[in-house]
Structures are given as C-alpha cells and as structure tokens.
Amino acid sequence: MPQVRPMRADARRNYERLLKVAAQAFAEHGENASLDDIAKRAGVGSGTLYRHFPTRQALLEAAYVDRMEALGARAAELAEELPPGEALMEWLNELCVATIQVRGMKALLGSAVTDGSSAASTACATTVQRAAARLVEAAQRERALRADLRPIELLRLAHGVATASELGGGQGREIRRYLALLTEGLAP
C-alpha cells in the first residue's frame, strides 16, 4: 500500500482557503457558482483548485461535509431523545430546512438519493443515507411507518418536500405541513 504524504503547509493553506471561499460562493450563487471565480477569490490558479477538487461535486462535498456530518449526528441525537416516529419527522424537517437554507445542499441531497451514480457513494451521501436508514428502521419497528418504505424513497420524498417549499416562497415555513401531509400517506 503506497504511503500517503502529508500536505505541504502551503498546499494545506490553499486547500483551506479554497474550502472557505467555495462555501461563501455556494452560499451566494448556489451549486453552480463559478469555479474559476472561486479559484481567483482564493488567490490560486484554476489548476490548484482542480488538483485538490477534480470536480465541482468534489468541491461541493468538501465544502459541506461538516454540515452533512452534523445532520447525521443530529439523527442519532433525535433517536435517543424522541419516540421513533417523532425523531424521524424532526430530522426530516431539519434536513429539508438545511436543504433550502444552505444553497448547494440541495445538490448534495440530490446526489444522495440517486441510485447507481458515482456521487451516491460519497461520504456526504453515505452519512445522510445511514441516518435515514437508522430512523426509518426504528419507526418501522414501532409501527409508526409503513413496513415497505425504503429509506432512499423517504430521502427522495424529502428532496421533493424541500423543492415544493422553495416553490412556495423558499422560506421553509411549509415544510412541517408538507411533511405531515406526506407522512399520513406513509403510515401503516
């Protein structure tokens, strides 16, 4: 197995600066923010950006991996604090709110719910999929959720709820209502 060398100090600074600038650019312009502009704002060349992040998706994931991991951790917290059905609903609400409030997260959730894509195997997608699976399985054991629902299907529906909320003004005020309407149809 080849040994991985640690990043040089200047390369590490470039990496960190690129992540910071990328998060700002994605917040301002969404997932389609200009990569050349990100490199320029970070004070590096496009080649440096692409050496660290060979694709837009790789940069987007690196910029938001902490947020996605926090959502995964939040699922575990809710599972301990609330009954399974309530924990699932609260987590879905928080996931949908994050999806519309943090521009660029919708693209990550979209990649997490796509079957068969290479993006579906990323750390961000895996974190969300595992969190959903844990909460769905617990809710199904408690008979708070129909037994034939797959976690990936629920994530797809959550993506749809976030999209519907954006169409309704984008503030997320409708998310709880939409989730309630949705879960009535998912009850056993």
**Does residue 49 sit in the same domain as residue 83?**
no
> Once rounded to an integer, what is the mean pLDDT over residues 167-183?
82
| For residue 22, pLDDT beyond 70 | yes
| More confident site: 77 or 10 | 77
**Does residue 11 sit in the same domain as residue 97?**
no
Domain that holds residue 47: 1-54
**Does residue 72 sit in the same domain as residue 12?**
no
CA-to-CA distance for 21 and 99, rounded, in angstroms?
A: 20
Residue 59 included in any domain: no
Q: What dihedral angle (degrees, nearest 10) is formed by the CA atoms of 147, 111, 42, 5?
A: 80
Count of domains for the chain: 2
Query: What does the pLDDT look like over 111-156, one tens digit per residue?
Result: 777 764 444 457 788 899 999 999 999 999 999 999 999 999 999 9
Measured in residues, the chain has a length of 188
pTM (2 d.p.) = 0.80
- The SS3 call for residue 28 is helix
CB distance 104 to 31 below 8 Å: yes
CB distance 94 to 177 below 8 Å: no
Count CA atoms within 13 Å of residue 109 on its CB side.
30
CA-to-CA distance for 122 and 139, rounded, in angstroms?
A: 26
Residue 142 included in any domain: yes
Q: What is the mean pLDDT of the chain?
A: 86
| For residue 173, pLDDT beyond 70 | yes
- The SS3 call for residue 168 is coil
